[in-house]
Amino acid sequence: MSIQEITQIIMDFIKAHQVWAIPIIFLLAFGESLAIVSLLIPATAMLLACGALIGADLIPFMPTFLAASAGAIMGDWVSFWLGKHYHQNIISSWPLNKHPKTVYRAEQFFHRYGVTGVFVGRFFGPLRAVVPLIAGAMHMPTLKFNIGNITSAPVWAFAMLAPGAFGIQWLETLFG
């Protein structure tokens, strides 16, 4: 099954069962931010599509935005915790051992940018999956990690939802 087909199935489910939209969006953002899982699940496309559901007035913006933000914070926090408690064991295990370049890039990125790296790392696909894990494995202080995590999640959630939620209306206003 293709990413487009999976996305369409989830969007159709949300349209038919809007009461499940917020928990599903939380889980999508959680999965997209969780180490290893985010390498396997194409949640970005689904979150962008959820923005279109907001734009079509099928689901509300604020609860959706809060669910995506909370899911992203929790996914990164769990990844950080795993890194902090399992150190090198987790990095040398499958599937990360199959992506040594990604792990190396995340490690270099983190060494260079620290807390800013946690913030910025959320916005770069493959790095998003490993930066919190490596931050934990390198024993970054929890407070510093949480500053980067909690400040970046709402910005990321907005970036995921806004194109569909506001893009069409904004274009209509601009060119209408």
For 52, the token pair is 């279109």
Q: Does the pLDDT value for residue 152 go beyond 80?
A: yes
Model confidence at 172, pLDDT cuts 50, 70, 90, reads low
Model confidence at 153, pLDDT cuts 50, 70, 90, reads very high
**Could you give the maximum distance between any two Cα atoms of the chain, in Å?**
56
Residue-wise pLDDT for 96-118, tens only, equals 788 788 777 777 777 788 889 88
Q: Give exposure, 19-32, as e/b (b: 16+ Cβ within 10 Å).
A: eebbebbbbbbbbb
Q: Where are the domains of the chain?
A: 3-175
Q: Across the chain, what does the average pLDDT equal?
A: 85
